[in-house]
Chain A
């Protein structure tokens, strides 16, 4: 016997929004704001810009209510809007400044400080903040589509299929994106990984 699909709360709320129910829109924003803001904040690293983009995401959802069709999971559709908004926001910000000085040295190399690989402590003993800076540095340098795939899989728990729908690419393409991204992350963090006896 096949398990029935769990009801998609987002779809149900969106259909109510479509019929003009503002209470449903309030509930929708409340339910998804953490995911949307979390993703955008990790991507743009600018609280003010992230808040503006987060609002823009939900306003786009609201404006699109009349042409909304529940063809996929609501969260997938929402992440697609979030992804496009974040990308536009980042591009606008980058156009606004000639050179990004954050984390770059004059020779173009990353100046993000990694722990000395000769240090012997494994990754789970590196101080939280230091590890966070290190991991964020690695993620920031991934190509945009790899970065998004990692974000959606790791932090939002989306399947390959849902990531494909959100990013507008095939499932094998997502598999390839994640494989390359994870290989890169593993190489960068390799020196700090604790070797366990297997």
Chain B
């Protein structure tokens, strides 16, 4: 059975491009070309017009420093990786430094906080110091031994209690 001309024309360009891999179809096109002069003329026109496109293919103009420019920009961009946006290893030292700084800041705050506590306790010491003479007097009454024992065992007395104890000692002394 002879193939329909329109069917063959659909494959003519692929045939001219060497893109028909189906052996049977390729033979059908070749037979049609051998039998049909008009189809041969059409194939010739297609080939000629395709060849005419060579006229529009001037050599590309390539800037002399094209490669150098691209490579320089690539080196500058070397950090981020398109698409993945993963944190790179170079970022980890920054994260570690940030953690250390935060830790340091917290530590310093605690130190200052402790310092503040000491400062708060200073008036107590000072007031207790002012009473030092009296304390020497009352030491003999062994009341301060109780005070020292309490502090040694982690039981801090506030200023009110300490003064209260000293007053009590003084009263007893008097």
Contact = CB atoms under 8 A, between A and B. Distances in A.
A25 B53 contact: no
Interface stretch (A88-96, A100-108, A111-119, A147-155): A147-155
Contact of A196 (B44, B67, B83): B44
Contact of A194 (B40, B48, B61): B48
Interface residues of B, number: 39
Given A154-B50, A159-B19, A196-B44, A59 B73 contact: yes
A2 B143 CA distance: 108
B77 interface: yes
B49 A29 contact: no
A22 interface: yes
B92 interface: no
Interface of A: 22, 25-26, 29-30, 33-34, 37-38, 41-42, 47, 51, 54-55, 58-60, 62-67, 123, 128, 131-132, 134-136, 139, 150, 153-155, 159-160, 175, 178-179, 182-183, 185-186, 188-190, 192-196, 198
Interface of B: 10, 13-14, 17, 19, 37, 40-41, 44-46, 48-50, 52-53, 55-63, 66-67, 69-71, 73-75, 77, 80-84
12 contacts: A22-B71, A29-B70, A37-B66, A54-B66, A59-B74, A64-B82, A175-B13, A179-B13, A183-B46, A186-B49, A193-B45, A198-B37
